[in-house]
Chain A
């Protein structure tokens, strides 16, 4: 085995203990790689200093693309390419175009946003997950600390983790 990336993992049982631990560990100058949880923990992104997710903006952009596409399609087909009189209405009866425009807006917003989410989160069916601890998807919260990215020594970091309420402190190496 080559020298891989070495991680120190702090395992936490409870989300409230975890939240305090994040503050404590960050306060002591240790850089946290990521915290893994079995469920979304409220306020964790603020505690870790993450920016607010911008996916809602992506959804809006995809949404207006859908609106524009639907209107272009309907006006192009019924108003430009092959105008026909249907029930004495205008060639471009805008009120009648609203339902399809709305549906296309929702469709593109939803699919665009979810596609972006899969892309930025590296989620794909053939993805090989890096499992730090098998119990993350069950009931444990795991704080992963990359040793190479920290100046502190391993023993020191372990001490900080133990002091912050971790029930276990483990090592894990990935190639």
Chain B
């Protein structure tokens, strides 16, 4: 059996028994929604409906409703796309990579983080789909069908097509991974259900799970292999997203460090979003014994590491631009920092490079309020990072007569708001009707790493 030294800080506090875990998590699902949840849901639905109007305007009138122009042909849409995909990466990192490294602290946060991944990827996919202008036809354009059923096929040389494959694989594999984890917990809810409706719904969701040793043995293999598949998958997804830029010839995009730099940035922003969401969930659902200060500190340490990688990448880009001796490249970077978009560059540098460094202090990284604020700052910074890369590289065209600026319209803002509405509506529904903590996994570590009574 597994032996663990007594001096180790317990991962689950409060002297919980297996039954306490079931009780704590299932009772949230069974209770009537709280007032606070209703308010949160109402706000999300309000965002969703306001945003839906913007989506309607966009679809009815066309992509011209966005503030794009001939020079800046990509702006908020792709910024939001990359931002949301990046956020999704933390969920897979927590559930897959930390599983391979046998990091047990992942177990009380993986469920919510994976849910976040799935909703974030849906929000991300929204933008390229809307950018097609006629999403109902997008299926013919994106999938390997003969073009409009003629003889031309999709172009497999294009990183945009690789993105279609990467994002849809990432979404569906993450969904399956998440669902596999949910099955035993749905069975717990099913066996506690008192009314017929929830018994049959959770009964169907639990796929008739009973928890035999043979099934568990297969189940653990499935989880391990899925983790092994999801790990290179998650790295490939942001790598391919970065190829959207890196394979072009635009100065400022044409950079070989993009793949690792984007992956680090993705994990950085993803962990920040996990913290934002979990700090709220922990408070509202009183999960302090499951998501302890130690968990938060661990995530903050990952934020320092990835934030520093991102910082080094920013500096490396600058250095390489100078070292390359290519004037256009040098101009792109100097313009980025000192040109008309200097404020976006400065926000990015402050939020992403300076603010996470505060976590070197143990006092700050174990402080909930500070963590919450910094987690939001990091995500603002990561949005600006994508905006800086995309817009500042485009707005100074090769031809100075074409130089332009980008001004977002209300529809740009509205569609972004729509993605927030969608994300939070989905997350709150998840938090109410699904078990927010992986009960089976937490129970399996309770004896070894739980606090002794």
| Complex alpha-carbon distance, A55 and B204, angstroms | 24
The verdict on A99 contacting B165 (CB below 8 Å), with A40-B444, A78-B153, A129-B208 known, is yes
Chain B residues numbered 147-170 whose CB sits less than 8 Å from any CB in chain A: 151-157, 159, 161-162, 165-166, 169
Nearest B residue to A78 via CB reads B156
Nearest B residue to A74 via CB reads B156
| Complex alpha-carbon distance, A96 and B165, angstroms | 13
B180 interface residue, CB < 8 Å from A?
Answer: yes
The verdict on A100 contacting B161 (CB below 8 Å), with A55-B225, A117-B219 known, is yes
In-complex Cβ contact of A138 among B165, B192, B217, B441 (8 A) = B192
CB atoms of A50 and B214 under 8 A apart: yes
Q: Mark A44-55, 1 if CB is under 8 A from B, else 0.
A: 110010101101
CB atoms of B165 and A139 under 8 A apart: no
A-binding residues in B (CB < 8 A)? 1-2, 17-19, 22, 144, 151-157, 159, 161-162, 165-166, 169, 172-173, 176-177, 180, 183-184, 187-188, 190-192, 203-222, 224-226, 229-230, 232-233, 236, 240, 243, 439-441, 443-444, 447
Chain A residues numbered 30-83 whose CB sits less than 8 Å from any CB in chain B: 34-45, 48, 50, 52-53, 55-56, 59, 63, 73-74, 77-78, 81-82
| Complex alpha-carbon distance, A93 and B158, angstroms | 11
CB atoms of B218 and A121 under 8 A apart: yes
| Complex alpha-carbon distance, A96 and B162, angstroms | 9
- One of A102-110, A149-157, A162-170 at the interface: A102-110
| Complex alpha-carbon distance, A112 and B205, angstroms | 20
Q: Mark A85-126, 1 if CB is under 8 A from B, else 0.
A: 011010001001101101110110111011001101111111
12 contacts across the A-B interface (CB closer than 8 A):
A43-B1, A50-B213, A78-B153, A111-B176, A117-B180, A120-B218, A121-B219, A126-B204, A126-B208, A129-B210, A136-B191, A139-B19
Chain A residues with CB under 8 Å of B218's CB are 53, 55, 117, 120-121
CB atoms of A125 and B205 under 8 A apart: yes
Q: How large is the interface on A (under 10, 10 to 19, 20 to 34, 35 or more residues)?
A: 35 or more
CB atoms of B2 and A42 under 8 A apart: yes
CB atoms of B222 and A55 under 8 A apart: yes
CB atoms of B229 and A35 under 8 A apart: no
| Complex alpha-carbon distance, A149 and B204, angstroms | 31
Chain B residues with CB under 8 Å of A74's CB are 156
Interchain Cβ contacts within 8 Å, total number? 206
CB atoms of A117 and B222 under 8 A apart: yes
B234 smallest CB distance to A (angstroms): 10
| Complex alpha-carbon distance, A135 and B187, angstroms | 11
CB atoms of B144 and A114 under 8 A apart: no
- Contacts A50-B214, A55-B222, A99-B165 aside, 16 further interface pairs with beta carbons under 8 A come to A16-B447, A36-B212, A37-B211, A38-B188, A38-B439, A42-B1, A45-B217, A81-B153, A96-B157, A100-B156, A106-B229, A121-B214, A123-B183, A123-B207, A136-B211, A138-B18
